[in-house]
């Protein structure tokens, strides 16, 4: 079935769930995403599809090589480490697959392509947080002041004293910055602060 729609405006659940249920015959079925995405919508599509572990099991994308590498391999304490990396790792297991040289495209672009595979998690595999919305709100707030210490960048959500106590409790220095926290650290910080 070919559906001609803008994926950023398309209601995925209403179209895919009935098709998957019809084909399931008692066994849960999942769809897969395979796409060559323009760079200007890649982050938006990743954010739209990854939380849909009830519909999709895998997403394979060709992006600009630099973007694919950044999504799959951004390490803490690097300028490439951003909230999208926490998001991607929360909802999936990303794996950079390979580079596609620009000479393979016509017309030839100015950048190379890169293929990335996301194994999309089911909701039961997500890190344990009380609310995904409040978790990502905290992560985004933390990175709004990327070079600031968390006790400053999160002070509109919690007191500096509570943030410092939470950081100490989860084994991090009270002077920690967002670029120093792995996803699991953010999960523990969120859960600790949620109980304050």
Looking at residue 12, its pLDDT comes to: 84
| pLDDT of 147 above 90 | no
Which of 98, 120, 142 is where one domain is finished?
A: 120
Residues 108 and 184 occupy one common structural domain: no
The burial class, CB within 10 Å (0-12 / 13-18 / 19+), for 146 is middle
What is the number of structural domains in the chain? 2
Residues 73 and 141 occupy one common structural domain: no
Residue 58 lies inside a defined structural domain of this protein: yes
Domain of 155, in residue numbers: 132-194
Residues 21 and 105 occupy one common structural domain: yes
- Domain with residue 140: its CATH number is 1.10.8.100
36 is in an annotated binding site: yes
Residue 162 lies inside a defined structural domain of this protein: yes
pLDDT in tens, 47-77: 999 999 989 999 999 999 999 999 998 777 7
Residues 39 and 101 occupy one common structural domain: yes
Which of 96, 120, 144 is where one domain is finished?
A: 120
Q: How far apart are CA 57 and CA 70, in angstroms?
A: 22
pLDDT in tens, 109-122: 899 999 999 999 99
Residues 106 and 177 occupy one common structural domain: no
Pairing label, strands 31-36, 56-64: parallel
Which of 120, 148, 171 is where one domain is finished?
A: 120
């Amino acid at each position: 079935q070919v559906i001609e729609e803008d994926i950023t405006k398309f209601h995925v659940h209403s179209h895919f769930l009935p098709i998957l249920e019809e084909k399931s015959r008692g066994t849960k079925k999942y769809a897969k995403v395979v796409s060559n995405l323009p760079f200007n919508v890649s982050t938006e599509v990743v954010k739209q599809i990854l939380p849909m572990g009830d519909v999709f099991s895998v997403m394979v994308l060709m992006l600009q090589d630099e973007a694919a590498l950044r999504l799959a391999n951004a390490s803490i304490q690097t300028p490439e480490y951003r909230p999208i990396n926490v998001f991607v790792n929360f909802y999936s297991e990303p794996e950079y697959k390979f580079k596609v040289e620009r000479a393979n495209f016509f017309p030839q672009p100015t950048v190379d392509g890169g293929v990335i595979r996301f194994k999309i998690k089911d909701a039961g595999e997500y890190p344990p947080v009380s609310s995904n919305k409040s978790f990502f709100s905290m992560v985004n707030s933390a990175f709004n002041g990327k070079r600031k210490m968390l006790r400053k960048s999160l002070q509109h959500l919690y007191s500096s004293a509570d943030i410092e106590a939470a950081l100490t409790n989860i084994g991090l220095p009270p002077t920690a910055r967002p670029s120093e926290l792995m996803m699991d650290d953010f999960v523990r910080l969120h859960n600790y602060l949620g109980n304050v």
